[in-house]
Amino acid sequence: MKWDRVRFQADPEDYRPVVFPPPGPYWCSGEGDGYSIVVAYMPAPLNLEQLLKHWPEAEKVEVMQRDTEITFSDRFPKPEWYKP
């Protein structure tokens, strides 16, 4: 399966998806003035409706990588709940 790695603005108090689990892993990568910055993997090609099902408040959605594999790092470790 191929994934799109997306970044978007979400709720500043609780960036977690309202429908759990989302299709792929996600992380809070920072905060802005009144929002959290979330990085998430979504099935490619990105279906904005599917993203909004999990994060209805998502704004400024940006696809960072298209048609990629899920990779983990020190900054973006594999979440315990994620079972590929």
pLDDT tens per residue across span 40-54: 999 999 999 999 999
Tell me the two tokens of residue 56. 């209805």
pLDDT at 60 (0 to 100): 98
Assess contact for 25 and 83: CB atoms under 8 A. no
CA distance 62 to 34: 18
Low-confidence ranges of the chain (pLDDT < 70): none
pLDDT at 84 (0 to 100): 83
Tell me the two tokens of residue 45. 């090609």
Model pTM score = 0.95
